[in-house]
A and B are shown apart, each in its own frame.
Chain A
């Protein structure tokens, strides 16, 4: 019953919305160049499936490359900050600045640094910057939230700093670090899209570029089709990470995975 509600209710709701949209476009005779009806978007999706698939692959590749980099950088920074108050205090203003600055404002500079011939570098760099904070703060919170009695046992056993880090703090941090990694993955995709929009060059050929290109040509149905592809891509990343996180937490806790 519950599972049916979880699936049926949103499906029905979206169907009603699409139906209303379709009806409004037809009844009010809205020009396609302004707002195409869902049926047009569906056709555009079908016609451009090959192109959109390739573009989605580009955007996904940029986001994943950035994700790999930001995972490495943010976690190294978090381990550094967790190991030393001085390091943590030194990082803090930069970490906060990264969080509160609208990163899209950095885009023009990053595009200059990466050079006209390498717009994909700008895309990856922006995605790294956008994804940094949640991963850093999730891992740092996890590394700092070790069970104090386990810490005392490690004191008692005379554990070295490395032993404490590798055998206590890093494994303790896993649940909270995964939360940060999940948010960071979503933001890496956002960052890649922002990068593509602002790099302003067709050579990235990602989904965001498709949206811009089609909009400039007033091919709104194609723009929407690329947007749908982007939403599907984001959804797939989220669902995929959710499954990975569930399995990882089940392993960590030593329990069979719980159904959501």
Chain B
């Protein structure tokens, strides 16, 4: 599996707040889904920003095979421009990259249909529910057909039913386009459900506490949450987290 992004010997220090992350090493293979799990403040969002190229590390190397426009980010809040329609929001990355308005809007409408928002092209963010707004945000991230998709606790603000629905839909979308995904969460079960590999991080400054490989097909079969494999993986990840928390407490 070719590597599309990697963090090597990364350390991030914030002035006045000390070490936020590291030393931390991480590799992302093409088309794989990796979850970063850790307590609040462990630097998992920082790791994501490094992978996105939005922030430089204090020490270490960030390697990115994906070029400009091939990496997309979805934040915890949908981060849609309120003055733009759903279609215009989704078309934005294409238009900023120089695509003309017509084709950009057509591609945006198609991507909205794929995330289950067909017919909502003209709706404004204020008219969308939380789940729909997150779908629009996902559509904006996917419209450029990215090689790397970075998700920073994308479902944290949603209710349980909506999150489960979105998790399944995201896996279905992944199966269509096969981007490599880094999924940041503090929810162990969500991490195991989404990812083929779960990286557990220590409390800040975050390091790798351990990894759990999840052996199951994606998208997940119905009832996957009740299977022995799911429970065992979730147990192992929880145990790693418990040990990591205990080590510093």
A-side interface residues toward B, CB under 8 Å? Answer: 147, 149-150, 152-159, 163, 167-168, 171-172, 174, 251-255
Is the Cβ of A157 less than 8 Å from the Cβ of B75?
no
Taking the closest CB of chain B, its distance from the CB of A118, in whole angstroms, is 42
Is the Cβ of A156 less than 8 Å from the Cβ of B72?
yes
Known: A153-B73, A156-B72, A252-B83. 17 other contacts (CB 8 A): A147-B79, A149-B77, A150-B79, A153-B92, A156-B52, A156-B71, A156-B73, A157-B69, A158-B69, A158-B96, A163-B96, A172-B83, A252-B82, A254-B82, A254-B123, A254-B126, A254-B127
The complex places the Cα of A21 from the Cα of B126 at a distance, in Å, of 51
Is the Cβ of B127 less than 8 Å from the Cβ of A152?
no
Task: Name which residue of chain A comes closest to B123, CB basis.
Answer: A254
Q: Is the interface of B mostly helix, strand, loop or mixed?
A: loop
Is the Cβ of B79 less than 8 Å from the Cβ of A149?
yes
The complex places the Cα of A156 from the Cα of B150 at a distance, in Å, of 12
The complex places the Cα of A253 from the Cα of B123 at a distance, in Å, of 11
Number of A-B contacts (CB under 8 A): 60
The complex places the Cα of A154 from the Cα of B68 at a distance, in Å, of 12
Is the Cβ of B54 less than 8 Å from the Cβ of A152?
yes
Is there a chain A Cβ closer than 8 Å to B161's Cβ? Answer: no
The complex places the Cα of A168 from the Cα of B84 at a distance, in Å, of 10
Of residues 124 through 159 on chain B, the ones whose CB sits less than 8 Å from some CB of chain A are: 124-127
Number of interface residues of B (CB under 8 A): 26
A-B contact pairs, 6 of them (CB 8 A): A153-B93, A156-B52, A167-B96, A171-B83, A172-B81, A253-B124
Is the Cβ of A158 less than 8 Å from the Cβ of B68?
yes
Is the Cβ of B82 less than 8 Å from the Cβ of A157?
no
The complex places the Cα of A254 from the Cα of B87 at a distance, in Å, of 13
The complex places the Cα of A157 from the Cα of B91 at a distance, in Å, of 12
Scoring A149, A157, A251, A253 by chain B CB atoms within 10 A of each residue's CB, the highest score goes to: A157
A-side contacts of B123, CB under 8 Å: 254
A-side contacts of B93, CB under 8 Å: 153, 157
The complex places the Cα of A171 from the Cα of B124 at a distance, in Å, of 14
Is the Cβ of A253 less than 8 Å from the Cβ of B69?
no
The complex places the Cα of A74 from the Cα of B125 at a distance, in Å, of 31
Per-position 1/0 for B51-70, Cβ under 8 A of A: 01110000000000000110
Is the Cβ of A255 less than 8 Å from the Cβ of B96?
no
CB contact between B81 and one of A152, A157, A158, A168 (< 8 Å): that residue: A168
Task: Name which residue of chain B comes closest to A154, CB basis.
Answer: B96
